[in-house]
Chain A
Amino acid sequence: MAVPNKKHASQPCVIPGGFTVLDIKFTKNSPAAHQLFVKEHKVRLEKTSSRPLDRTLFVLNIPPYCTEDVITRLFSQFGAIQSVELKDKPGHPEPTEQKLSKYFTTKQKQGFSVGYIVYTKPSGVTAAKTHPQNVPLIVSTEDHPVRTGLHKWIHQYSQSFVQPDTLQQAVDYFMSDYDRRKEEDAERKKKEAEQQEEDEEGWVKVTKGAKGTKVRPHSEAADKRALEKEGKKTKRKELLRFYSWQHRESQREHIAELRKKFEEDKQKIALLRAQRKFKPY
């Protein structure tokens, strides 16, 4: 451990770049510790309000066995916590389109993660940043043991069972929601189409319409098909072996083909020779 100088042992360890180093151990008696790097969350363009700049702590290098609950427990010693968000990589929070039931969310990677901890008060952030390094955070304590290894896998296995009814409910809920959205969509489209129609007096109201939506979305595949059709048409019209120059041309092509093949083969041979591939034994 190069950083922590014995002198500053009880001091917070701050490295250039503004991060404070916190040690984190799995149990009290673990001989080695990982280092957490914490800093106040500071981004120039934060669009969302889920990470208020003054109250959010940015944590790097969170070990895989730390779930959001564990992090909440560990960091609530610095102040009351509003929310904890763990991610694979630092970056903007993904806009969650809709709430999925837990059976349908894709499983998260169980690697080292980064965290955004939002305290209710800005003081939590400062408290965390001034935490001395020689007082490590302990992940698994007697009161709150953290499951790993076989315990965890057996637990996971028994948790993986779903009551078919519950699953069915989740599906039904989602599908009815989906149908509703679908209907709304259709309604909206219908309305737009109606607007395009003539009224009784033969007038059409011209509107800008919703941005980026057209009545019938055209597709890339359809475009390609049309082009191909066109190409075939022109090809059909072409005359082959009609003029003498065409014949000459094809002969020339043949020779060129042979030459090209010859050159390629020569190159291959040279390569194989370089690798001494012609020694039979």
Chain B
Amino acid sequence: MKRKVAETTTEVGSESTCHVETESIEPNRSEDGDERPTKALKSDSKNKASTTALVRPLKVSNKELYKAPTPEELNQLKETESLFHCSLLKMQMEELLKEVVLSENKKRMVDSFVLKITELLHSVPETPVVELSDTTWLSNVEVPFILVPESTKGKFHMEPPTSVAMIGSYPLGTCIKPRVSVDLMVTIPSSVVHPMDAINQRYSRKRALYLAGLAEHLLSSKEVGTLRYSCLHGNRLRPILLLTPPGKDASSLTLRIHACPPPDFLKPGQLHPQKSKIRTEWFTGIDSPQPGGPDVPTPHYNSTVLGDHLPAAHLQFLSAVSDQCGAFKDAVALLKVWLRQRELDQGSGCFGGFLASMLVSYLLTSHKVSNHMSAYQLLRNTLHFLASTDLTENGITLARSPDSTAPSLSDFHSAFPVVFVDPSGHLNLCADITAHTYKQIQHEASLSVRFWDDPTMDSFQALLMTAKPLIRTYDHVFQLSGLAKMQSACKKLNLFSELMDHSGNYVRTALPLLLSLLQRGLGERVHLLAHSLAPDLEWPVTSEPPKHKDQPPLSFGLLLKSDHLASVLEKGPPADSPQAEEFRQLWGDRSELRRFQDGSITEAVLWEASTACLKRLVPQQIISHLLQLHADIPSSCIRYVGGLLDDVIIVRQENCGTGEEESLKVVQSYDDLSRKLWQLENLPLSITSVQGAHPALRYTQVVPPVPVRLDYKRFAREKNSRALVPQEGKPCPVYITPIKVICHMEGSGKWPHDRLAIRHIKAAFHIRLAELLRNTHKYPCNPTATHLDVWKDGLAFRIQVAYQREPQILREVVSPDGMLLMRDNPEAQALELETQHRPLLTSTLHGLQQQHPCFGAVCRLAKRWLGAQLFSADVCEDAADLLVAYLFLHPAPHTPPSSPQVGFLRFLHLLSSFDWRNSPLVVNLNSQLTVADYTEIKNDFVASRESLPTMFIATPTDRKQSMWTKDAPSVQMLQRIITVAAESLHVVEAQLTDATLTQDVRVAFRPPLDAYDVLIYLRPKQVPLVESAVDPPNHPPPRGIYEGSVTGGALPVVDFDPVSLYLIELREAFGDVALFFCDPYGGTVIAVVWKPKAFTPHPFKTGMMGARRVEVTEDKPSTVPNVEAILLDFSVLGEGLVHKVVPRTEKWVV
């Protein structure tokens, strides 16, 4: 299994390995598998197109710009300025609409197909009258109906329909691509149905039989491609017949045949939500003990039957509205796209396109919006209306003057959770929608309105173009499989009458109650509890309808509140209050009386969780407890997806979680050190600031430093300072990260104005600081010219003294005529990065961690992935942290992640889908950038795109340079990162959502190694971080540490990592010939790729002869890399560390 995925990853990878020289950065937006195979074919043409596909600064001649405007033009310009945010949005919407509306060609095809089918339908042969339960006359097809209870009274026969007409979105003009479906209404002749058929599903069964009769007839026809059954929005009482045209058009068009009763079949008043249309005796099969007893109302059943009567009337109503308002169609189309991206438009209990158009009509007819508004304004107003109106409390109605038999709004509210009444006044259009789905819609709408008001972001992209699959939207997700258990849940929850109302569909019956139960239990912990809409089932006409329990598992999503993540206690009401009983009832035996520090004695529930990663999973405990207690659903049916990825960043020591606690300890120790530094006396100059400049000090170090106690016997000693030194021939000692701290000294006239002198003064400061720290606090110290290592609390801090003006002094150049010039140079930049920018970034991101407790964990997952896929050298730690910060600061269209898992998924999505080529990634840290700044950054970016880094990240303090991505990644590497990220996202999401996949999620953290030319395998014993690798060895080598608490003692071996030393040497020696990749977090393989450019024979040049050999042809010496010798050098340079060098390709044999 493992190998299989590795292969698929490389397949995509090898298509664009680092060898490809001319490849552009094309964000990979194909997540659905079907686009991928064609990609290879397309890539040629894509490359050609992309050479020109770059936004360039536009040059418009002044004459063009300043010519006198015509009134029309003036109008148009003004309009776009006032109606839309900018003309860009208007054009984007127009383009989007062009993509989704049906072309004329398509319409012609649809019309001709519908015509053919209509003829066919009219020619349905008549059959003799039989008993309703007798289905022997159907020879080839099954009835699309679950016949429970089996017997019903009544007669049935087939007869050609009285009329066949198109209904729904197609005649209205709001039908959109893809998955074009055209609805066809077939009216059942009145001789087939009987006015009493509304009772006991008789009508519904006749309807299903009628459809089966049609299917049987159509099955023999050549005009029909495939023929399947489905049911409308998952309602098993309303089966529909799906048919596609034969041949190649099959996938692009689906015809949905609805059977409808004759127009005057039933009076709507009969189907009032409080009437009962299903008899208990019939449904249970037992004679009720009191035959005269009141029947329970069956609102859902009634609205189902009523719904069949009204499509034609609804279409008429909508067409009338559409004729009045020019932008209606476009607005509905946009709304449908919006719904579709949020997975709200399909499945049982969905808010589909029909409801969308009804809602827009409601706004138009009630004059909440004007007929003259543009599509954009209609969409915006609709979303605003959704966000601000709670249909679960205050229902709305389209009926102007309902007749006296129509139910009142309060009647509807008592029967349904969400109320939106149709123009007739009798039907609740939202009958199937659960309150939680509506809350989800409201949440999405209010988010969208908020994003739309933010001028700094590309709201079009976020709201209409980005899909929001459940797994990437919600912090935690869980699935209920084994839906048969819901049947017992119904029993336990005492839902018999509801079950009857839903005609035995126990999943739909139990769902609302389960949701409200969980909502009560989760309470303050969640913003939103959403559930997936069970997808519409489809099955071939020749097989029986699937059972309720055969549905795919139900998924639920949780949006967590980050400020309640850490609490492990549910504090209930005081023991003697009346609510206490309710509380006890909810929690069962988990509820216990507790006395609190403030003296109160209350009911409370305490969950077991010691670390942050376990605390995040408290909702899992709550959910499984409540479902077991109240619904008899065992925890084996619950697949909770919330912490599956935690395993990758877990700290592998006793009682350690995912590193939050360890990072906190580091920060506390650092704070202490910083305080002690401030308090030092007798320094020649005072300290002006102490700043951390290390990922560990912003909670984002992949392997956070853990205090260690050393076993001195396993080390050699340095002669003078008695510091520990690694022993030769022993496994490499434990890696102790030096945590960098920048210590700025006060500016003063005493500082020399000379670069070398400053360096010496800094060294003197290191010596002095070491002396003071050793004397006052007894910390072992090791001062050097560049830094000072301090050993404190089992952690090593590396203090570096800095002088504010040093970078300026490095930049100073005196021109020959005595002028003092400032010239930027790499040395000054590097120093500035080290002493100013990195500390600033560290403190800013530290602040972000305080707002979002899982920021650090997401960063660590992201960097772990980058490392594991061998991209660490290309995306530096700071850049990766900034990318993650972007997810938290600019989460649109989502909310900021509150779990590492969802953050990581969005990180992969960001990497793979961002348009790196044409846009800068602006990370607005501390919200310092204004709209004007954004525009300026974008303009600067466009003006000099070619000279800027391929991955451009702008921050408030770095608007023009993108300092963290200046040197890497290259175009080719970025392309590879994009491809691998897309593939990883695909794999991880599949692993998380599909319970049947048995691999673990680590597959995304195992790099494909087939694409590399040489693999250098290292001895795990000498790789100090191998214990924290993605796949750690079973028997970790001895590292010279004890378990347990920390003591002082001699200075340990700090920052000794043979792998990184080896990599430095390799890159310095062979950087011209090859690229070297390694996982810095315990990787035991170094992968090498030859640079193709180096392998073309060069003429002999004294400047570039490194590692090459000469070949003489026709008296002209040319040079190629001396591969045999280089391979040998790999082992020579890594003597003791390298296990073996494996050349994998013969590419270098020219």
> By CB atoms of chain A within 10 A, which of B95, B723, B1071, B1127 has the most?
B95
**Interface residue? B88 (CB, 8 A):** yes
Closest to A214 in B: B818
B820 nearest CB across to chain A (Å): 4
**Interface residue? B718 (CB, 8 A):** yes
- The interface bits of chain A over 251-269 (1 if a CB of B lies within 8 angstroms of the residue's CB, else 0) are 0100110111111111111
Please indicate the chain B residues that have their CB under 8 angstroms from the CB of A154 in the complex: 725-728
Please indicate the chain A residues that have their CB under 8 angstroms from the CB of B1075 in the complex: none
Number of interface residues of A (CB under 8 A): 86
Establish whether residues B1132 and A148, one from each chain, have CB atoms under 8 Å apart when the complex forms. yes
A246 nearest CB across to chain B (Å): 15
Establish whether residues A34 and B1125, one from each chain, have CB atoms under 8 Å apart when the complex forms. yes
Q: List 30 A-B contacts (CB under 8 A).
A: A17-B1100, A19-B1117, A34-B1125, A37-B1110, A60-B1105, A64-B1068, A104-B756, A104-B760, A110-B1064, A111-B1106, A112-B1106, A114-B1105, A149-B1138, A161-B723, A161-B782, A175-B760, A182-B752, A217-B814, A218-B820, A219-B821, A221-B822, A262-B77, A265-B87, A269-B92, A271-B54, A272-B92, A273-B95, A278-B98, A280-B337, A281-B340
Q: Name the segment of B159-167, B230-238, B762-770, B857-865 touching the other chain.
A: B762-770
Interface members, chain A 195-230 (any B CB < 8 Å): 212-214, 217-221
Closest to B99 in A: A278
**Interface residue? B583 (CB, 8 A):** no
**Interface residue? B313 (CB, 8 A):** no
Top-8 shortest CB links A-B? A149-B1135, A150-B1136, A112-B1106, A219-B820, A32-B1124, A2-B1111, A256-B65, A265-B88
B841 nearest CB across to chain A (Å): 26
**Interface residue? B81 (CB, 8 A):** yes
Classify chain B: how many residues form its interface, as a range.
35 or more
Please indicate the chain A residues that have their CB under 8 angstroms from the CB of B26 in the complex: 275
Please measure, in the bound complex, the distance between the C-alpha atom of A220 and the C-alpha atom of B817, giving whole angstroms: 12
**Contacting A90 at CB < 8 Å: which of B88, B761, B1102, B1134?**
B1102
Establish whether residues B1105 and A37, one from each chain, have CB atoms under 8 Å apart when the complex forms. yes
Establish whether residues B819 and A174, one from each chain, have CB atoms under 8 Å apart when the complex forms. no
Establish whether residues B820 and A220, one from each chain, have CB atoms under 8 Å apart when the complex forms. yes
Please measure, in the bound complex, the distance between the C-alpha atom of A21 and the C-alpha atom of B1111, giving whole angstroms: 11
**Interface residue? B682 (CB, 8 A):** no
**Interface residue? B86 (CB, 8 A):** yes
B749 nearest CB across to chain A (Å): 13
Please indicate the chain A residues that have their CB under 8 angstroms from the CB of B80 in the complex: 262
Q: Name the segment of B251-259, B831-839, B1053-1061 touching the other chain.
A: B1053-1061
Interface members, chain B 335-355 (any A CB < 8 Å): 337, 340-341
Please indicate the chain A residues that have their CB under 8 angstroms from the CB of B49 in the complex: 274-275
**Interface residue? B398 (CB, 8 A):** no
**Interface residue? A141 (CB, 8 A):** no
If the complex has contacts A110-B1068, A268-B88, are A32 and B1117 also in contact, measured as CB distance less than 8 A?
Answer: no
Closest to B808 in A: A221
> By CB atoms of chain A within 10 A, which of B87, B723, B1100, B1102 has the most?
B1102
**Interface residue? B198 (CB, 8 A):** no
If the complex has contacts A151-B1135, A153-B1061, A213-B818, are A255 and B784 also in contact, measured as CB distance less than 8 A?
Answer: no
If the complex has contacts A35-B1110, A217-B818, are A103 and B1103 also in contact, measured as CB distance less than 8 A?
Answer: no
**Contacting A271 at CB < 8 Å: which of B55, B99, B1129?**
B55
**Contacting B1107 at CB < 8 Å: which of A112, A269, A279?**
A112
- The interface bits of chain B over 715-751 (1 if a CB of A lies within 8 angstroms of the residue's CB, else 0) are 0101011010111100010000000000000000000
**Interface residue? B1128 (CB, 8 A):** yes
Closest to A255 in B: B69
- The interface bits of chain A over 46-75 (1 if a CB of B lies within 8 angstroms of the residue's CB, else 0) are 000000000000001101110000000000
**Interface residue? A135 (CB, 8 A):** no
B1090 nearest CB across to chain A (Å): 16
Closest to B1131 in A: A149
Closest to B1108 in A: A61
Please measure, in the bound complex, the distance between the C-alpha atom of A214 and the C-alpha atom of B817, giving whole angstroms: 8
**Interface residue? B285 (CB, 8 A):** no
Establish whether residues B1134 and A164, one from each chain, have CB atoms under 8 Å apart when the complex forms. no
Establish whether residues A278 and B96, one from each chain, have CB atoms under 8 Å apart when the complex forms. yes
Please measure, in the bound complex, the distance between the C-alpha atom of A244 and the C-alpha atom of B448, giving whole angstroms: 45
**Interface residue? B1002 (CB, 8 A):** no
Please measure, in the bound complex, the distance between the C-alpha atom of A162 and the C-alpha atom of B621, giving whole angstroms: 56
Please indicate the chain A residues that have their CB under 8 angstroms from the CB of B148 in the complex: none
**Contacting B99 at CB < 8 Å: which of A3, A112, A212, A279?**
A279
Establish whether residues B77 and A258, one from each chain, have CB atoms under 8 Å apart when the complex forms. yes
Interface members, chain B 415-464 (any A CB < 8 Å): 464
**Interface residue? B940 (CB, 8 A):** no
> By CB atoms of chain A within 10 A, which of B58, B69, B1127 has the most?
B58
Please indicate the chain B residues that have their CB under 8 angstroms from the CB of A256 in the complex: 65-66
Please measure, in the bound complex, the distance between the C-alpha atom of A63 and the C-alpha atom of B278, giving whole angstroms: 92
Please indicate the chain A residues that have their CB under 8 angstroms from the CB of B77 in the complex: 255, 258-259, 262
Please indicate the chain B residues that have their CB under 8 angstroms from the CB of A100 in the complex: 756
Please indicate the chain A residues that have their CB under 8 angstroms from the CB of B759 in the complex: 104
A61 nearest CB across to chain B (Å): 5
Please measure, in the bound complex, the distance between the C-alpha atom of A163 and the C-alpha atom of B784, giving whole angstroms: 9
**Interface residue? B1022 (CB, 8 A):** yes
Please measure, in the bound complex, the distance between the C-alpha atom of A271 and the C-alpha atom of B1107, giving whole angstroms: 45
Please indicate the chain A residues that have their CB under 8 angstroms from the CB of B1100 in the complex: 15-17, 19
Interface members, chain B 348-365 (any A CB < 8 Å): none
**Interface residue? A84 (CB, 8 A):** no
**Interface residue? A231 (CB, 8 A):** no
> By CB atoms of chain A within 10 A, which of B178, B337, B752, B1135 has the most?
B1135
Please indicate the chain A residues that have their CB under 8 angstroms from the CB of B1070 in the complex: 111
Establish whether residues A153 and B1058, one from each chain, have CB atoms under 8 Å apart when the complex forms. yes
If the complex has contacts A112-B1069, A151-B1136, are A35 and B1122 also in contact, measured as CB distance less than 8 A?
Answer: yes
Please indicate the chain B residues that have their CB under 8 angstroms from the CB of A1 in the complex: 1109
Please measure, in the bound complex, the distance between the C-alpha atom of A35 and the C-alpha atom of B54, giving whole angstroms: 46
A sample of 16 more A-B contacts (CB under 8 A), given A114-B1102, A151-B728, is A2-B1111, A35-B1109, A112-B1105, A112-B1106, A158-B725, A163-B721, A167-B783, A170-B760, A171-B767, A175-B761, A259-B60, A265-B91, A268-B88, A274-B49, A278-B465, A280-B464
- The interface bits of chain B over 1106-1126 (1 if a CB of A lies within 8 angstroms of the residue's CB, else 0) are 111111110111000010110
Establish whether residues B96 and A150, one from each chain, have CB atoms under 8 Å apart when the complex forms. no
**Interface residue? A33 (CB, 8 A):** yes
Please indicate the chain A residues that have their CB under 8 angstroms from the CB of B1128 in the complex: 26, 30-32
Please indicate the chain A residues that have their CB under 8 angstroms from the CB of B569 in the complex: none
- The interface bits of chain B over 83-117 (1 if a CB of A lies within 8 angstroms of the residue's CB, else 0) are 00011100110011011100000000000000000
